Structure 1
Amino acid sequence: MNIIKTISIGVLSIDDLNKIQVAVSESRCNVNYNFWFDVKYTSQTHIECEFIEKIVNERTYENLDGVEEKIEYVDYYRMKFIFRANSFFSLCLIDPPRNTKYGLQMIRSLVTADAKLKSIEFDLAKIIWCANNGENIKIHAASISNLKMNNDILAKIKLVSNFNISDFVGGEYKYNSGCIDSLSGFVRGIPFEISKLGRIKTQVDSIEIVLSLLEQFNVHNE
């Protein structure tokens, strides 16, 4: 499965998306630059791209004769992402690298100057509510923290089962002060994992379906 990090830059219109596509096309690979954008897929409502930067490094080593020599080697910084129109999840990073700050700065250059990148958090209790109110969601694992055992003890637990535990989680912890940190299971037959910090793990070809369902369920905190 792939990891998707959801980010908001405000709701993008179709016109905004078209302008971004022009900016991406103008920034494609050029031998005079060490960085570029590569378009992977476009549709009326989203653009899938990759930011790539070529990084040339130099290393000095000593050969068997005691003479220092220099060699150059090339690394590539890559970040795949999707711009989505008419959606609160307007920017999604796909399998992001550990350091995303630089890549996000470059991606931000494709949108309007006043655009603000904002990380999205999920209220996972809403997914439990949806699972217990007719939606086709099955939860097989849950991580819950800050469970109040008594006035002095807070607990963190991990629940795992081969069966759907949404009823158990919703019933046992509905009135507790605990916070649901992550859930995993199936949404309408699609396997997924989701964390409150805006990360989703699912199959790359199911990204659009899962994001649309999460937006329909209104599980994000604005």
Structure 2
Amino acid sequence: MLKVKLYQSGINANKGDFYDRLSQNLYSDQEGFGFELLDDSDDNFIMQFIERVINNQEFELPDGEVSEIETVSYIKVKFGVRFGTKHALYVINPPRSMKYPFEMIRTLFGTSSGLKPVDLDLKKLLDVFDAKYDNVIKSMSLSNIQCDPNTVAKTKIASSKDLNPFYLENYSETPAVIDTVHMVVNGIDTELSRTGRFRVHEANLQTFMLMLDHSFL
């Protein structure tokens, strides 16, 4: 399964502008960083950010001589751009820290794009999925569960059956926040977090993102 991190833009991305900015920021060995276009088919606009990292290590030989070895590695972050939707950017198998790659990717969108990480309302999403699709909840993690006026808790619940009736009865009308949910929606197995990270099989990626688009219109 792919790990995906989703971002939203305040304005719809323009493909022509992307080509222009991409041509000005292509990867070169001279610069040591930049972008390359991987796929420009009808359904995909996939790029990759590359940064060359050079490390020098010193080793002391048995005779006391010091030798230096230079190693070269590459940081590569693969991402897709979507046009005509606010969910304009998705990063595929993102690194643990996306701070620097995100700042570089944002240059392709322009300073006025308002590009930022997605914060999903999973309660609203489940309401829409339950109304529009065949949706089975397998597990979920919740926080801000009000135990008493001074105490909140977090928990994870799982079941071999559909958790949706249990969730509706016990949590849907409470201040509890859904942090992550594992579900099967129209046959698509996915794990989704409110921070916009999700796991899905590659063959279902575009379909699932369209479902997210239509759930937050």
Describe the superposition over 1:79-100 as per-residue Cα deviations: whole angstroms up to 9, x where unpaired: 1111100111101111111221
Which of 107, 110, 114 is the aligned partner of 2:108?
110
Whether 2:92 is the aligned partner of 1:94: answer yes
Given that residues 143 and 158 in structure 1 are in contact (C-alpha distance below 8 angstroms), is that contact kept between their aligned partners in structure 2?
yes
Residue identity matched to 1:165: L
Counterparts of 1:113 and 1:157 in 2: how far apart (Å)?
A: 40
Given that residues 10 and 90 in structure 1 are in contact (C-alpha distance below 8 angstroms), is that contact kept between their aligned partners in structure 2?
no
TM-score of the pair, normalised by structure 1: 0.89
For structure 2, list consecutive stretches of 5 or more residues without a partner in the other structure: none
Counterparts of 1:82 and 1:134 in 2: how far apart (Å)?
A: 26
Counterparts of 1:128 and 1:20 in 2: how far apart (Å)?
A: 34
RMSD: 1.9
Whether 2:7 is the aligned partner of 1:7: answer yes
Given that residues 7 and 90 in structure 1 are in contact (C-alpha distance below 8 angstroms), is that contact kept between their aligned partners in structure 2?
yes
Counterparts of 1:133 and 1:104 in 2: how far apart (Å)?
A: 35
Deviates more, 1:133-142 or 1:39-48: 39-48
Secondary structure of the residue aligned to 2:175 is coil
Q: Which structure 2 residues correspond to residues 59-78 of structure 1 after superposition, within 5 A?
A: 59-78=57-76
TM-score of the pair, normalised by structure 2: 0.91
Counterparts of 2:97 and 2:130 in 1: how far apart (Å)?
A: 38
Given that residues 11 and 113 in structure 2 are in contact (C-alpha distance below 8 angstroms), is that contact kept between their aligned partners in structure 1?
no
Structure-2 change in CA distance of 1:144 and 1:213 (3 Å): same
Residue identity matched to 2:102: L
Given that residues 128 and 169 in structure 1 are in contact (C-alpha distance below 8 angstroms), is that contact kept between their aligned partners in structure 2?
no
Which of 207, 210, 213 is the aligned partner of 1:212?
210
Given that residues 58 and 72 in structure 1 are in contact (C-alpha distance below 8 angstroms), is that contact kept between their aligned partners in structure 2?
yes
For structure 1, list consecutive stretches of 5 or more residues without a partner in the other structure: none
Q: CA deviation at 1:24?
A: 2.4
Q: Which structure 2 residues correspond to residues 15-30 of structure 1 after superposition, within 5 A?
A: 16-30=14-28
Alignment correspondent of 2:49: 51
